Amino acid sequence: MKDQLPGIIGLYDNTFPLSLNFPVPELFRWRKILFDTRPKNERADFFNRDKEIEELKDILKHNDFAAVLGIRRIGKTSLVMVTLNEVKDEIIPLVINLGKIGSEKKLYPMETFSKLFLEGTSEIIKKYTFAGKISRLISNRLGVDPKDIIDLNWAKIKIKLRDFNTQDVNEIVRGLDEIADDNKKKLVIFLDEFQNIKRIKGFDIGSFLHDIYEWCKNTVLIVSGSFVGVTEEVLNQVEAEKPFFGRKFFKVYLERFNEDQSREFLIKGFEEEGIKIDEKIIEKAIKLFDGIPGWLALFGRTYTYSVKHSHNIEIKDIIKEAAKQVSKDFTNFLKISSSPTRYAEIILSISRLGGKGRLKEIADVMNSLYKEEIRESRLHDLLSTLVNYSFVKAEKRGIYSLPSDLPTRIGLIHASKMWLKKFR
């Protein structure tokens, strides 16, 4: 990362002036705030997404299936969790985080999904006393004690999961649907990072969705995906194939904040912290982090902490921290891709063009830098994949560019350099 930071961040002042003069609260507020970088649960702490919350509520109200789409760190999980929290008295939530699926270059067995499914189901069993019969249903199917299901005793459960299939999952969801109906509630299944479902071998997602649609009248589904193109591709496949053919997901898109929204977010966040901040600092942050809520919250939290505890704060340190996260994300993508070296070369070639270029320009740079001929048709396919994974943007008139926020650009470039250094 060191070789990247001076050249790019040198365009900006490295040190923010510290602005003191903040009140010390008499009592801690044990709730999440705007500058908390973790997913939010309260609307008051989730900035400028009222429209999307109401949109998602409307989808749930009409028993439709929802897809929440947007790039990483844009607030998808927060949107779902805030919405579910506002209707918590009317629902039973079943949360399955597919982001926990590993980053190895392989397909994962059905038992990987089954484990995540049981983790979510166990939370329901623990929270709702009337869900006891679900633990008995699962334990009978697996041949283990119901207590092992509640406690998630994987030593006894894991080996049994090898025979657990899509029909077993469907049966349990039907049981949960009946329980929800008996208690005048709605079962909401939330599949986070849905694009990873294509990496589960043996799970029939079409059958799973069809079963919910046809037999679970009290159940709705929400999926979210960070790699928008990939997630939409999976959804399109599901919608076009039997047995789910003809049904659809209503899509809620989360966009970056514009400049005014970013400015308001930072001003309100610093006011909430009791800190006065120079307008020039806010303008720098708006330019560098380009409307990504996760980066703005990271900046606000880091800056706030430094001011309150009298530490010097350098902007390059905040950007490096954010860039490390992107570098890790892209490295994980390279590990599971079929053409990792080519993808790394593309990122560095676009960077060499100043962050933006046409197909032929990118091909010319690649052929010049790496002494290997690449056909434009092949390059187009590779770029399309990078676009689907949100690592490259497809602009008008056939132009491709790196994302506009500085942390993402630095992270992509760093990961690409390290990959080529290690594997070329």
The DSSP annotation for 232-289 comes to HHHHHHHHHSTTSTT--EEEEE-----HHHHHHHHHHHHHHHT----HHHHHHHHHHH
Instruction: Give residue limits of the domains in the chain.
Output: 49-253, 325-423
Mean pLDDT, residues 252-268? 96
Cβ proximity of 194 and 67 under 8 Å: yes
Rounded alpha-carbon distances, angstroms, from residue 246 to 125, 196, 342: 34, 23, 38
Q: Is the pLDDT of residue 229 over 60?
A: yes
Residue 12 clears pLDDT 80, i.e. is over it? no
For the chain, the first-to-last Cα distance in angstroms comes to 19
Pair of tokens at residue 367: 């052929």
| Segment (H or E) for 137 | helix 132-142
pLDDT reported for residue 31: 52
Split at pLDDT 50, 70, 90, the class of 360 is very high
- Assess whether the previous peptide bond of 243 is cis (omega < 30° from 0): yes
Range 325-423 has CATH code 1.10.10.10? yes
What integer pLDDT is reported at residue 20 of this predicted model? 40
Residue with tokens 């590990």: 335
Q: How much is the pTM?
A: 0.88
How far is residue 91's CA from residue 87's CA, in Å, rounded to a whole number?
7
CA distances from 131 to 35, 135, 257 (A): 37, 7, 41
Domain 49-253: CATH superfamily, name plus number? P-loop containing nucleotide triphosphate hydrolases (3.40.50.300)
pLDDT of the residue at 162? 87
pLDDT at 388 over 60: yes
pLDDT in tens, 130-163: 778 898 889 988 889 988 888 899 988 988 888 8
Tell whether the model's pLDDT for residue 6 goes beyond 70: no
| φ/ψ bin of 200: left (φ > 0), alpha (ψ from -120 to 50), beta (otherwise) | beta
Say if CB 261 and CB 291 are below 8 A apart: yes
Q: What value does the mean pLDDT of the chain take? A: 89
Phi, psi of 223, rounded to the nearest 5 degrees: -120, 150
